[in-house]
Amino acid sequence: MEFLTPLEKINLRKVLIRIKKLETSYARSEFLQFCGLAQCIKDLQLEQPMAQFVVSLIAQFSEKYIEVGGYSQRALLVFLTFISDDRSYLDNDQDIKFVKSLISKPDWSSILEDDILNPLHELIEELQNVSHAKKFPEEKSQNIIQVFRDIRPYLKYGLSLIQVLEEIREKFKTIDKNKTIDKNIEKLVAEFSQESEVIKKEIGYKINIVLLVMNQQQAKELDSEVAFCDYHKILCDQFNKLKDQLTKCGITNWVEHYQQTSEQWQPFNQGDSQRNIKKLIEEAFIEIEVQYEQKIVPKFIDIRELNEDDKDNFKLLKKLRHKGCIVIMDAISMQHPEIQSLFRTTALDAFPNTLVVMIAPKYSVFDIVKKIESVIEQRIDIDFYRRLQLNDSKCRRVGDKIGFRNWLINQIPYLLPESKEEKPLKDVRNFMY
């Protein structure tokens, strides 16, 4: 179903053609970039006369979606919102009223086209059918759509489907104070929750794991000492001592253990050196699943992602600090000044719910790492070292696959519900969401 009716398209063309500030291709391009629609410009006929430009804009923007304010929005509605808020574009009250009526139209497709909401698309379609059959007022439908936009971050950052549905129920209660929303909605959510028990078995419980690991380019920078160009010579000197120790341990190809992503990192130098960190963690989780009878899924988060200047990533960082996560720290990567800085900015190790493990390719490497740490402690404030000195059981150093696997197997059960019959309680979200 098209968002605009044929009559609405005709009337919108008439309104937009009258906007004199969009008569040149330069003005059109500048305004669309100002609206945050730069990515949509390439398909528009910017150089064409106003009538043709307007036709192409309505056609293209009606079908495109961009992420604005944390959720997917139709490009046409983003554009209309900007022009309706500026009297220099629309100075006719009747035109403004018409454009605002389009903006207020319930846009079910904006959530149905959202891949992050994909697990809920069946439920959304049912609710859309109910709203049409019952002829809900626009405001009521908009409230329902907004519920799904609000819970989108929960799905994006790993909250289980069952918990998401609980959040949906709670939000429906909030917007239904006067019992205006049909009881069919509550029934649909309840039915979908029961069906999703099967999905729960398939999806499993998600455990957040932050990887403090270099990529291949950063490993090359470290090996060539380019990484230390803008830093005190003492950091480079300390790293060279570590390189000497790695050579004594027979580890001369350590750069090759780093790949394009942190999940591809091969942490150990024994015969199973080709096994990356993702594989090792998944294998450990399988051992826990046998006893727990519930699938457990690692959700990997790169340390660089947490430092991006993005509102959603900042929200994720705050959740990890408050509710907990596992931090896997590579002893070699920690010699890279950029990695040190990224981790220090997150301050994850300063929070008591954070589990931290430092990994070296062999235990003997820690002999020199411990000496380096005393220097690092003087230059950067990392709580991991203090927690080690206090014998915090949530912080460990490991130097082989067996030690790492045993650490995971011993720690993960504390992050899960006590029995498979129990539903995840709110306090369990300290480590899962």
Query: Would you state the pLDDT for residue 8?
Result: 94
State whether 40 and 128 are in the same domain. Answer: no
Q: Is residue 350 part of a domain?
A: yes
Q: How many CB atoms lie within 10 A of CB 8?
A: 16
Question: Where a domain ends, among 105, 133, 160?
Answer: 105
Question: Where a domain ends, among 203, 230, 263?
Answer: 203
Q: What is the DSSP string of 130-175?
A: HHHHTT--HHHHHHHHHHHHHHHHHHHTT--HHHHHHHHHHHHHHH
Task: Please tell me the distance from the alpha carbon of residue 68 to that of residue 80, in angstroms, as a whole number.
Answer: 14
Task: Please tell me the distance from the alpha carbon of residue 273 to that of residue 319, in angstroms, as a whole number.
Answer: 33
Query: Would you state the pLDDT for residue 421?
Result: 37
pLDDT tens per residue across span 140-198: 888 889 999 988 888 887 777 777 877 887 787 777 655 555 565 666 666 666 655 55
Q: Is residue 220 part of a domain?
A: yes
Q: Is residue 1 part of a domain?
A: no
State whether 312 and 192 are in the same domain. Answer: no
Nearest to 394 by CA among 306, 327, 298: 327
State whether 46 and 67 are in the same domain. Answer: yes
Domain total in the chain: 3
Segment holding 212, helix H or strand E: strand 205-212
State whether 85 and 147 are in the same domain. Answer: no
State whether 216 and 184 are in the same domain. Answer: no
State whether 186 and 219 are in the same domain. Answer: no
State whether 271 and 167 are in the same domain. Answer: no
Query: Would you state the pLDDT for residue 377?
Result: 47
Q: What Rg value do the Cα atoms of the chain yield, rounded?
A: 27
State whether 318 and 229 are in the same domain. Answer: yes
State which residues form the domain around 156: 111-203
Window from 54-58, 90-94, 158-162, 331-335 with minimum mean pLDDT:
158-162
In this structure, are residues 416 and 404 in contact, taking their beta carbons and an 8 Å threshold? no
Q: Is residue 233 part of a domain?
A: yes
The token pair that represents 2 in the structure block: 């098209």
In this structure, are residues 3 and 109 in contact, taking their beta carbons and an 8 Å threshold? yes
Angle made by CA atoms 10, 13, 17, in degrees to the nearest 5 = 150
State whether 99 and 234 are in the same domain. Answer: no
State whether 75 and 124 are in the same domain. Answer: no
Question: Where a domain ends, among 174, 203, 232?
Answer: 203
Task: Please tell me the distance from the alpha carbon of residue 413 to that of residue 392, in angstroms, as a whole number.
Answer: 18
State whether 315 and 389 are in the same domain. Answer: yes
